[in-house]
Structure 1
Amino acid sequence: MHRNGNRKAGTGVHQVRLAACALLATATVLAGCERGSESGPDESTAGPSGCPEVHARAEAAVSRAEETDVSWNGPTTGPAAEPGKTIVYVAQTMTNPGVAGAANGVKEAARVIGWNVRVIDGGGTPAGIQAAMSQAVAVRPSGIVIGGFDPNSTLQQVSRANAAGIPLIGWHAVATPGPSRRPELFSNVTTRVEDVAAISAQWIIADSGGRAGAVLITDASIPFAKNKSDLIRKELATCPGVKLLSYENIPIPDASSRTPRVIASLLSRFQSRWTHSVAINDLYFADAAPAFRAAGEKGSGPPFNIGAGDGDPSAFQRINSRQYQAATVPEPLSQQGWQIVDEFNRAFAGRPASGYVAPVHITTADNSDGATTWDPSGYREAYRKIWGK
């Protein structure tokens, strides 16, 4: 089945990117975003015959991921609300839509459970984040959220918090969800990079009917991002009918200047052979849009573009208006904020972390219902019941 719908044109909105590096670099030091270079095409996925079995599995996985009326599959039991707690949310920068969205979820949940929340903005620089963490530890709160930055960049402050018995919970702080030993985190709230990578590649396989010419965009200077793109490439290679035309390494700090030039070059080289794109973050398509537009490409595609992570409001706006982005794999930011509060409540009660990891979701113009965030149902009611609120 070919999944391309009638995607009509509209108006796109560019994404704020001041801290996109930190959102992606969950397992690397913030200062590690370095300049890189483009990579050439990968010929190994070329093939003339499609992939009926792989395509069928991809169709099924994508259909599940596109569902919006899904039942809550997270925790339904846990400790009642601990009273009188104060949480400090240390933000990599509140100009990062993901960091800010998770912070807003924490604040909303804290109002329900009856806690106080203070947000300290690190301003997007290593020095600012270290200062924010020092300030957070100094006020001796009940718990600290590491919001979108690598704890290894603030090891001194993390060690002081650990020594003071202040539980730390990360949002996109390390590469994997759940508890962390080094650095010591009670839990880390994030989706699984393996799941995000796989479903974004499966969307291309499903959307193209197993016959696509794809471009993959990454920032290879960030280990987490490179790992994600390697996983995407591996999944695309399961379908012989999908050819990876080019693997482009565009460092996030250079995205606004380099992406338009790269897109123009790719359009010239591949023309109609280029049918789909996947990028490790939605922001690349904000920068790609002017080049597509200048070349006379329709906003509704081809190429049909999917962002393998983030799902900030501007990505939703591009998708809803069918302007050079067809899909994203968004984080459920508000739900993750509520989960952070619940994980703290478990820590305060001497219970283990819940172990919950949100399933991946795909947003398209056909299932977004005009929304600008992915906000699944059921979690608010479930957490209220657990907390006795």
Structure 2
Amino acid sequence: MTQTFGAGRLRIFAAALGVAGLLFTAACGSDDAGSDAPAEVNDAYTQQAAELIEAGTNGMLYFEGAEADITLDKIKVYQDWSGPTESVKPPAGSKLNIIVCRIGTSCEEVGKKAAEIATSLGWSAEVLDGQGTPEGFQRAFATAAANKPTAVITVAIPENQVADGVAELQKSNIPVVGVSAVAEGGAVGYDAHVSSRETFQAVLEATKAVADSGGTAKVVFLWDVGYPHLVEALEASKRVLAGCTGCELLEVRERTLTQATDPVEMQNITTSLIQKYGDDLEYILTPYGNGVESIIAALKAAGRDDIKVMSKNAEAERLASVAAGDQFADFGAIRGWNAYAAIDQVGRLAAGQPALPDAEQGIPATVFDASNAPADGTVDWSSYVNYAERYEQMWAAAQ
């Protein structure tokens, strides 16, 4: 069951965090199982992690600065509206195409929410399936170009895989807004970005392992490195884990989205990790919900209910699994806020105004464990903050 948290309670958490506001600088951990043994536990760092997780479980957290550079000292307790306060009036009669990474994933949920918002503004909106592959992305971009929309929103589609499609749309003065799409390799860039805070959520996974273990976590990242935003999330998470001097990164085991959606493949990968690390394996961190059910099934079959699995994006199935005690924890940036932010970016660009820098969108995140995960997986995000009302009031007030 979700809760509404008053400013007084959040101020208490903010004060507690202020006590542990130490600066953090650490090198990235090794990917190899043969790395040096962990050093002595850093009690101050472990306490800082524990206080952040407690605050994030009872409320929300946000961060200051660039997402790729997150460290524990940059994470703050959310107390008041952190998003934009001024915008433009959304242009009437716009036509929107929304290309999602793959139907059936959390990408689709974001895309459908953006389409719903667009419809409420009197726009037309169509969601296109990127099918989870570069070829599928390119086909979806070709469809969008033929449709000649006012603008295109993409969800979790890397810029470097669709540079030609982006350039083609931009030649026709069709702006492209990328949600959860970190640039890589100098490709033709999107006109605007909106982060779904995937790096932030991944960092909170590592922070939870540090806090839960008392600073001695032994971790495997079972990760998808096929997307730049997930690579960024991995590197930031490794850095945060490396700040835990008594923790150990056992391995980064790479897998693709296609593998994640194959139950047999995921169970085989999980079994191989159990066989390789035995009792040393304590935490498995994953980049999204796909495949987690198969990981849990393999752990149960091996009698390893001591291994704690974490994921992010707060998908309903995963939250229900957390509530049931099968999955240890999950993490979610406020769902729907990113869709409103994407529509806001479209409005700014369509009006000839500059896009809002990604760092100023202010989307917070929260922590779900057995104490607060909803049994049916349904979260009333507006009970945390009424972001929809904030955006709608901002648009209504614009001239």
TM bucket, shorter chain: 0.7 to 0.9
State the match for 2:83 in structure 1.
74
On the 8 A contact 1:141/1:166 being kept in 2, the answer is yes
The Cα shift of 1:105 comes to 1.5
State the match for 1:120 in structure 2.
128
Change in 2 beyond 3 A, CA 1:339/1:331: same
Q: Which runs of 5+ in 1 are unaligned?
A: 1-38
Using structure 2 for the length normalisation, give the TM-score. 0.76
Using structure 1 for the length normalisation, give the TM-score. 0.78
Which amino acid is 1:386 matched to? M
The Cα shift of 1:327 comes to 1.2
Which amino acid is 1:75 matched to? P
Change in 2 beyond 3 A, CA 1:111/1:181: farther
The Cα shift of 1:137 comes to 1.8
Which amino acid is 1:289 matched to? I
Counterparts of residues 1-389 of structure 1 (less than 5 Å)? 40-44=32-36, 46-47=38-39, 49-68=40-59, 71-95=80-104, 97-175=105-183, 182-192=187-197, 194-220=199-225, 224-255=229-260, 256=262, 257-298=264-305, 302-307=306-311, 309-323=312-326, 325-355=327-357, 356-370=361-375, 371-372=377-378, 375=381, 376-388=384-396
State the match for 1:27 in structure 2.
none
RMSD over aligned CA atoms reads: 2.8
Q: d(CA) in 2 for partners of 1:265 and 1:120? A: 37
On the 8 A contact 2:334/2:364 being kept in 1, the answer is no
The Cα shift of 1:188 comes to 1.4
Change in 2 beyond 3 A, CA 1:357/1:191: farther
Q: d(CA) in 2 for partners of 1:209 and 1:289? A: 23
Q: d(CA) in 2 for partners of 1:194 and 1:154? A: 22
On the 8 A contact 1:214/1:244 being kept in 2, the answer is yes
Query: Sequence identity of aligned pairs in percent?
Result: 21
Q: d(CA) in 2 for partners of 1:361 and 1:264? A: 31
Change in 2 beyond 3 A, CA 1:152/1:262: closer
Question: What SS does the corresponding residue of 1:99 show, helix, strand or coil?
Answer: helix
Q: d(CA) in 1 for partners of 2:337 and 2:160? A: 26
On the 8 A contact 1:191/1:357 being kept in 2, the answer is no
The Cα shift of 1:281 comes to 2.9
Which amino acid is 2:255 matched to? I
On the 8 A contact 1:93/1:122 being kept in 2, the answer is yes
Question: What SS does the corresponding residue of 1:362 show, helix, strand or coil?
Answer: strand
The Cα shift of 1:314 comes to 2.2
Change in 2 beyond 3 A, CA 1:214/1:135: closer
Q: d(CA) in 2 for partners of 1:259 and 1:170? A: 29
The Cα shift of 1:374 comes to 7.4
Higher RCO (CA 8 Å, separation ≥ 6 residues): 1
Deviates more, 1:103-112 or 1:273-282: 273-282
The Cα shift of 1:116 comes to 1.6
Q: d(CA) in 2 for partners of 1:266 and 1:121? A: 33
Change in 2 beyond 3 A, CA 1:110/1:297: same
On the 8 A contact 2:201/2:313 being kept in 1, the answer is no
Q: How many residues align?
A: 341
Output one character per residue of 1:23-66: Cα deviation in whole Å (capped at 9) or x when no partner: xxxxxxxxxxxxxxxx741523623x322111111122223332
Q: d(CA) in 2 for partners of 1:223 and 1:102? A: 19
On the 8 A contact 2:180/2:197 being kept in 1, the answer is no
The Cα shift of 1:258 comes to 3.8
On the 8 A contact 2:218/2:282 being kept in 1, the answer is yes
Which amino acid is 2:33 matched to? P
Q: Which runs of 5+ in 2 are unaligned?
A: 1-30, 61-77
On the 8 A contact 2:180/2:229 being kept in 1, the answer is no
On the 8 A contact 1:87/1:142 being kept in 2, the answer is yes
On the 8 A contact 1:332/1:374 being kept in 2, the answer is no
Which amino acid is 1:148 matched to? A
Change in 2 beyond 3 A, CA 1:186/1:63: farther
Output one character per residue of 1:222-262: Cα deviation in whole Å (capped at 9) or x when no partner: 55544433332222121222123343233443343443234
On the 8 A contact 1:198/1:235 being kept in 2, the answer is yes
Change in 2 beyond 3 A, CA 1:67/1:343: farther
Q: d(CA) in 2 for partners of 1:102 and 1:93? A: 11
Question: What SS does the corresponding residue of 2:366 show, helix, strand or coil?
Answer: coil
Which amino acid is 1:279 matched to? T
Change in 2 beyond 3 A, CA 1:131/1:358: same
Change in 2 beyond 3 A, CA 1:284/1:40: farther
Which amino acid is 1:98 matched to? S
